[in-house]
A and B are shown apart, each in its own frame.
Chain A
Amino acid sequence: MARNGGVAWMRTTEKIDGYDLSTSDTEEVHVLAVDDSLVDRKVIERLLRISSCKVTAVDSGRRALQYLGLDEEIQKKETNGFDGLKVDLIITDYCMPGMTGYELLKKVKESSAFREIPVVIMSSENVIARIDRCLEEGAEDFIVKPVKLSDVKRIIDYTTTELREGEQREGTRAKRRGINKRKQREGDDDLSSSPPSTLSSSTSSSPSSSIQSATAPSSPSTLDSPTRRLKMTSSE
């Protein structure tokens, strides 16, 4: 079926122990992509490469933790050749067997070594309660599948900005941004998980927010709310 039997793809990646590694050595944003679907992994990998990222694609939360060295059962050995590839961003599917993207998010945010890494959640289901939960847990952003190039570009843009400015910011930054997104998203005042009605992509904040911390002004790129992608017609 494929014109050259998939060789083109294999040329640019190495498959080692279930990990797909890019072989580029330049100083690009290094993204760890997590998705149990082979089709989706291939697509997200391409989207990220086009956005000038280095990509490591794994098929489960467990493998993602192993890659980061957070798996309690398997510690990264010193001789492991994957050591030292710093991850700048994690993009993960929400619905995965075993460990969900949400559980992976929590594990990353609970880790002192990795909690600064922005985590983006992808899901085919635009459930408000789910999005809220992820943002509250510290997710950077929430993308509704199918993922488009514009989604990836937006995320890489502000991840790159954050990386450049990042060292002086505090760890609460991610949580604040998550809160900002929630505020920007709200078309109405109801913060509870009522069925989606008139969500707009307006950038005005909700007057009835119950957020504790002060919200910093968001950079222009974060005003493209992730939930702009919430399509009312795609609810199931």
Chain B
Amino acid sequence: MDLVQLQRQLVDYRTSLYHEGFLDEQFTQLQSLQDENNPDFVVEVVSLFFEDSERLLNELSKALEQQVIDFKRMDAQVHQLKGSSSSIGAHRVQKLCIVFRNYCEAQNVEGCLKCLQQVKHEYGIIKTKLESMFQLEQQILNAGGSIPV
């Protein structure tokens, strides 16, 4: 595939992520903070988000396996996940966290379990999609092109 095609593919892919509600305007914000002097800013922030999310999702899984479930602590963890997903524009994950927090507040185990599964699922999707997008960007850079805004 030539450079122009790659760039077009990237733009289309990115656009679809917004249209399908995977990403929101906050992701655009982050992209606008990137420049020649900080060319890896978005990748770095998103990497931190991945690490943070995986840690939190693990902790939430463990929390729900306990004999006595600490809903308050879980709520705090979901709050953290909501915050970081909001900060990078991971829209679907953020919205699910809101629902998740309601179940925590209601101390509804079934609801929490279901929500956790959904959040893990959505997280997996956005992770794959962002990684694909970054790979496409890297291909463009390797081909000597610049990433279209």
Contacts and interface: CB of A to CB of B under 8 A. Distances in A.
Contacts of A124: 79, 82-83, 86
A1 B40 contact: no
A149 B134 CA distance: 23
Given A2-B40, A37-B84, A97-B76, A43 B45 contact: yes
**Interface core residue of A2, A8, A43, A146 (most chain B CB under 10 Å):** A146
Contact of A46 (B33, B39, B98, B131): B33
Main secondary structure of the interface of B (DSSP, over half): helix
Interface residues of A, number: 26
Nearest to B79: A95
A37 B45 contact: no
Given A39-B49, A42-B45, A4 B84 contact: no
A173 interface: no
B48 A39 contact: yes
A1 B38 CA distance: 16
Chain B interface residue count: which class? 20 to 34
B101 interface: yes
Interface string B79-117: 110111011110000000010010000000000000000
A6 B29 contact: no
B145 to A, nearest CB: 15
12 contacts: A1-B47, A3-B39, A3-B40, A6-B47, A9-B41, A39-B84, A40-B84, A42-B48, A50-B33, A145-B87, A146-B89, A148-B26
